[in-house]
Structure 1
């Protein structure tokens, strides 16, 4: 086994054994889709409760499209929070636990460890989002009648694409956790981004703010806001995420961990 494969195996072993990973997988892959299904059921009921009224403002479509749209609005936030926290943990754990010296004792370069961390994070996040999509479909089969139409599959694909764009946006959190040598710094920036996203959206600038655009595209700001999202706005996460990923790799390769500081 070469050193790159060994690094990936090592990072996967840490991720698989971490309690955080299992909690994150259950929350993102099962709990959030089921919660959105419950909210949609409330929207379709005759209830006049505050929850039902709020749910009806989110469920602007009927049938499967409504199922996927409501779930997408939940996932647009949940993916950033859950995957973001895991990204901070993956890149900051050794610094916080003061075990980074153990990495340096292995016959693997620092940049290989960084690549392995991104590889494992991306694979886990993608599979977990796929699990969320499956959960949404299964939950819909329980509550819906009729077969999935081509339009419905297109909406589900839109949801999954937005989730992938959001996964890419967690790369700056990996960079922050590396630069400040600990996952708490990255988590702090994550919650700061959530606040700034709300402010940018409220100011009408959400379409040009990378962390807001995928959610708005899924209908988080209403149907008019979703229709106003353009392709350049939707693709903004790519240069942000890829640029942060490259910066993280360069940091690990050049100014990365050499000692416990």
Structure 2
């Protein structure tokens, strides 16, 4: 069973990597550190921002320009934006089987339906984790490049832990949010709702 699960997970990961949506998701997640670093840069240089006409109201949410505020803002961004982006990833992973017309072929495979649905959720978790780690590493690099003051390894590790917890919560909350998003959307995203129902229904019947 473990060999079958590993094979299906590997297949799902290969399908994700070869899809255009994978690269779109990477670019989308890069906006998180870019926006946070922009707010931090404005907070560090308010005079320069005012002279250049940049709106500084958004940057006022940062009380003190430093790594503590910077990393805290990133954790807040992943908590809010991550749920939406992770939800889209979950919806796409399940919905593509229906939209591509491969749902019947998938259910016809000589595999337990529980293995198929578990493999898809594992691939979603791996994909989402990769995006979260990439965004945090990019944020760290940008923070070093713009010389954010007050770097401390202890502060960095504590906020990295907070970011990890926020990311995991957003990842696991994305499934029901994607489900309800599919329920209320009668267009393309509704396909994932039907796909998830069919797979879960088959799993219940077999088990």
Whether the TM-score (by the shorter chain) exceeds 0.5 is yes
Unaligned runs of 5+ in 1: 189-244, 257-261
- In structure 2, the partner of 1:89 is 92
The CA deviation at 1:186 is 8.0
- In structure 1, the partner of 2:142 is 139
The CA deviation at 1:8 is 1.1
In 2, the alpha carbon distance for the partners of 1:251 and 1:4 equals 19
- In structure 2, the partner of 1:27 is 28
- In structure 1, the partner of 2:37 is 37
Q: Equivalences for 1:91-106 in 2 at 5 Å?
A: 91-106=94-109
In 2, the alpha carbon distance for the partners of 1:171 and 1:83 equals 8
- In structure 2, the partner of 1:221 is none
The CA deviation at 1:146 is 5.5
In 2, the alpha carbon distance for the partners of 1:73 and 1:142 equals 22
In 2, the alpha carbon distance for the partners of 1:145 and 1:42 equals 14
Structure 1 contact 8–120 (Cα < 8 Å) conserved? yes
What's the Cα RMSD here?
3.1
Q: 1:69 aligns with which of 62, 69, 72?
A: 72
In 1, the alpha carbon distance for the partners of 2:149 and 2:79 equals 26
Structure 1 contact 40–55 (Cα < 8 Å) conserved? yes
- In structure 1, the partner of 2:82 is 79
Structure 1 contact 15–21 (Cα < 8 Å) conserved? yes
- In structure 2, the partner of 1:14 is 15
State the secondary structure of the residue aligned to 2:152. Answer: coil
Query: CA distance change for structure 1 residues 250 and 120 in 2, over 3 Å: closer, same or farther?
Result: same
Query: For 1:146-202, what per-residue CA distance to the aligned partner results, in whole angstroms no more than 9, with x for missing partners?
Result: 642413321232122111111110121455559x999613899xxxxxxxxxxxxxx
In 2, the alpha carbon distance for the partners of 1:8 and 1:54 equals 41
Q: Equivalences for 1:122-201 in 2 at 5 Å?
A: 122-143=125-146, 144-145=148-149, 147-173=151-177, 175=179, 184-185=189-190
The CA deviation at 1:251 is 3.7
Query: For 1:124-159, what per-residue CA distance to the aligned partner results, in whole angstroms no more than 9, with x for missing partners?
Result: 111211111111111111122464241332123212
Unaligned runs of 5+ in 2: none
Q: Considering Cα pairs closer than 8 Å and 6+ residues apart, tell me whether 1 or 2 has the greater RCO.
A: 2
